[in-house]
């Protein structure tokens, strides 16, 4: 069975704010349309290493993307390369490090910010390079890509929560409100996505500590939410998932044969 998939990676969204502040997503869970799971992110709890982990299923110490300054293309099979090999269409509205990992490195803003190239792993990209790029603009970018190109796999990657955490700390109203704002933005788009049959995963790379940063093993840095929405999921909120299983799970939803770590128990058995 083949479904279209949207992956939303809300950068820097820790478990507590993702659990407490996202009333729309929680309402979807209460109504049986979604489920919320807790992931313990791989280490180090840093962005670029965990983008690679989420999008390839390979943890940082194995991929070699072990800090944020490793500027090179990924050498792993990614969800983008798997989808392209299967003839599927890919798109991303994301931070420029995603373009560097899967399309071209280093990032050249004039060349890469707006990407439309059928031969690249991410065929349709709208990339940004300032951490305070507004989340509402980013979701509009993503929706524009979705409507214009009808991708099978779409990555949406807002940075506002992480940016608020670095400025004000993980235990701040500004950080928590940035999470709440993402819940509101998702409520503007998710009903349409689900009505069109998309399977949607909303998660994060890592959390944020009270020292305005992340990278280590504190629960605030390491524990992140994973909301699953769509008819292909069984919505068993007791199911345990790992961050390394997201790539394989998405590949399975897309109907791609793969050898990535996966978690088929979270899917409806009819698939
Ligand atoms: Zn950060």
Q: Tens place of pLDDT for every residue, the chain, 271 residues? A: 899 999 999 999 999 999 999 999 999 999 999 999 999 999 999 999 999 999 999 999 999 999 999 999 999 999 999 999 999 999 999 999 999 999 999 999 999 999 999 999 999 999 999 999 999 999 999 999 999 999 999 999 999 999 999 999 999 999 999 999 999 999 999 999 999 999 999 999 999 999 999 999 999 999 999 999 999 999 999 999 999 999 999 999 999 999 999 999 999 985 4
Instruction: State the distance from the centre of ligand 1 to the C-alpha of 29, rounded, in angstroms.
Output: 28
Instruction: State the distance from the centre of ligand 1 to the C-alpha of 269, rounded, in angstroms.
Output: 37
Instruction: State the distance from the centre of ligand 1 to the C-alpha of 268, rounded, in angstroms.
Output: 35
Instruction: State the distance from the centre of ligand 1 to the C-alpha of 193, rounded, in angstroms.
Output: 28
Instruction: State the distance from the centre of ligand 1 to the C-alpha of 166, rounded, in angstroms.
Output: 6
Give residue 269's pLDDT. 82
Instruction: State the distance from the centre of ligand 1 to the C-alpha of 33, rounded, in angstroms.
Output: 30
Instruction: State the distance from the centre of ligand 1 to the C-alpha of 201, rounded, in angstroms.
Output: 20
Instruction: State the distance from the centre of ligand 1 to the C-alpha of 177, rounded, in angstroms.
Output: 16
Instruction: State the distance from the centre of ligand 1 to the C-alpha of 142, rounded, in angstroms.
Output: 21
State how far the Cα of 101 lies from the Cα of 96, in Å rounded to an integer: 9
Instruction: State the distance from the centre of ligand 1 to the C-alpha of 78, rounded, in angstroms.
Output: 22
Question: What is the value of pTM for the model shown?
Answer: 0.98
* Partners of 201 in beta bridges: 7, 228
Instruction: State the distance from the centre of ligand 1 to the C-alpha of 36, rounded, in angstroms.
Output: 23
Instruction: State the distance from the centre of ligand 1 to the C-alpha of 168, rounded, in angstroms.
Output: 12
Instruction: State the distance from the centre of ligand 1 to the C-alpha of 18, rounded, in angstroms.
Output: 16
Work out the angle at residue 256's Cα, subtended by the Cα atoms of residues 89 and 185, and round it to the nearest 5 degrees.
55
Instruction: State the distance from the centre of ligand 1 to the C-alpha of 133, rounded, in angstroms.
Output: 14
Give residue 75's pLDDT. 98
Tokens of 111: 């060349």
Instruction: State the distance from the centre of ligand 1 to the C-alpha of 160, rounded, in angstroms.
Output: 10
Give residue 270's pLDDT. 56
Instruction: State the distance from the centre of ligand 1 to the C-alpha of 46, rounded, in angstroms.
Output: 7
């Amino acid at each position: 069975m083949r479904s279209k998939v949207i992956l939303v990676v809300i950068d820097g969204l820790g478990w507590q704010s993702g659990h407490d502040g996202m009333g729309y997503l929680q309402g979807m869970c209460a109504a049986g349309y979604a489920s919320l799971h807790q992931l313990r992110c791989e280490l180090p709890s840093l962005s670029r290493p965990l983008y690679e982990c989420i999008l390839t299923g390979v943890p940082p110490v194995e991929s070699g993307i072990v800090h944020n300054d490793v500027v090179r293309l990924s050498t792993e099979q990614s969800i983008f390369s798997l989808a392209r090999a299967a003839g599927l269409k890919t798109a991303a509205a994301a931070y420029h490090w995603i373009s560097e990992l899967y399309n071209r490195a280093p990032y050249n803003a004039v060349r890469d910010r707006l990407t439309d190239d059928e031969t690249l792993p991410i065929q349709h990209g709208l990339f940004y390079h300032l951490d305070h790029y507004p989340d509402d603009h980013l979701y509009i970018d993503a929706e524009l890509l979705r409507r214009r190109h009808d991708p099978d796999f779409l990555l949406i990657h807002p940075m506002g929560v992480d940016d608020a955490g670095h400025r004000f700390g993980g235990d701040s109203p500004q950080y928590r409100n940035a999470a709440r704002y993402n819940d509101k933005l998702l409520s503007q788009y998710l009903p349409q996505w689900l009505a069109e049959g998309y399977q949607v995963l909303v998660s994060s790379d890592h959390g944020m500590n009270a020292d305005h940063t992340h990278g280590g093993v504190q629960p605030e840095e390491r524990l992140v939410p994973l909301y699953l929405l769509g008819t292909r999921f069984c919505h068993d909120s007791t199911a345990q998932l790992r961050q390394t299983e997201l790539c394989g799970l998405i590949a399975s939803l897309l109907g791609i044969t793969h050898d990535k770590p996966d978690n088929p128990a979270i899917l409806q058995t009819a698939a």
